[in-house]
Structure 1
Amino acid sequence: MKRRVRLSVLFAALVTAGSAALTPTVAQADDDPPTTRELLDKCDNGTDVCEFHPDGPPKDSMGEAHQVGDSAFNCTDDLQRSTVGWSDTTGESNSVGVSLSAEYGFAEVFKVSIETNYQHTWESSHTESEQTNIDVKPDEVGWVTREAQMQTVKGQYEMHFPDPFHGHYIWYVPFEATGPKPDAPSTKTQHTRPMTEEEKAQHCG
Structure 2
Amino acid sequence: MNTFAHRVVAIAIAALTGTTIAIAAPGTASANHEGQPTTRELLDLCNQGRTDSCDFRPSGGISVFNGPRQLAGSSTNCTNFNQTRVIRYEASQGTSHSFGVDFSAGSKIGKSFEWSIQTSYRREWTWNDTTSDELRQDVGPRSRVLIYASKVRSRVSGTYELHFGNRYKGHYYWYVNGQVEGQTRGQPWDLASEQVRVSC
TM class by shorter-chain length?
Answer: 0.7 to 0.9
Could you tell me the percent identity over the aligned residues? 31
Task: Give the match's secondary structure for 1:55.
Answer: strand
TM-score, normalised with respect to structure 2: 0.83
Once the two structures are superposed, what CA deviation does each residue of 1:83-138 show, in whole Å capped at 9, x if it has no partner? 21122221110112456434221111110111111111111101111112222211
1:36 deviation in Å? 1.4
Matched AA of 1:170: Y
CA distance in structure 2 between the aligned counterparts of 1:81 and 1:180, rounded to whole angstroms = 34
Q: Number of residue pairs matched?
A: 184
| Matched ranges for 1:40-51 at <5 A | 40-43=43-46, 45-51=49-55
Q: Secondary structure at the match of 1:57?
A: strand
Q: Which runs of 5+ in 1 are unaligned?
A: 201-205
Query: Which of 99, 107, 111 is matched with 1:96 structurally?
Result: 99
Q: Point out the structure with the larger strand share.
A: 2
Counterpart selection for 1:111 from 111, 114, 120: 114
Cα–Cα, structure 1 residues 114 and 99, in superposed 2: closer, same or farther, change >3 Å? same
Q: Which runs of 5+ in 2 are unaligned?
A: 1-16
Question: Any residues of structure 2 matched to 1:39-188 within 5 Å, and which?
Answer: 39-43=42-46, 45-69=49-73, 71-98=74-101, 100-188=103-191
> Secondary structure of the residue that 1:41 maps to in structure 2?
helix
Query: Are the equivalent residues in 2 in contact too, given 1:41–1:104 (CA < 8 A)?
Result: no
Aligned partners of 2:196, 2:122: CA distance in 1, in Å?
44
Q: Structure 1 residue 191: deviation in Å? A: 0.6
TM-score (norm 1): 0.81
Deviation digits for residues 8-51 of structure 1 (CA, Å, limit 9, x no counterpart)? 12xx1xx34524642xxx33x22xx2221221122271222321
AA partner of residue 188 (structure 2): P
- For the pair shown, the structure with the greater C-alpha radius of gyration is 1
What residue identity is the alignment partner of 1:60?
V
Q: For the residues of structure 2 that align with 1:130 and 1:173, how far apart are their CA atoms?
A: 41
Seen in structure 2, the aligned counterparts of structure 1 residues 101 and 19 have a Cα distance that, compared at 3 Å, is: closer
CA contact (8 A) 2:85 2:137 kept: yes
How far apart, CA to CA, are the structure 2 residues paired with 1:56 and 1:87? 33
Q: 1 or 2, which has the higher helix percentage?
A: 1
Q: Match for 1:192: what amino acid? A: Q
Deviation of 1:173 after TM superposition, in Å, equals 0.7
Q: Distance in 1 between matches of 2:161 and 2:196?
A: 53
User: Which letter maps to 1:183?
Assistant: G
Q: Secondary structure of 1:42's match?
A: helix
Q: What is the RMSD computed on CA atoms of the aligned residues? A: 2.1
Specify the alignment match of 1:5 in structure 2: 19
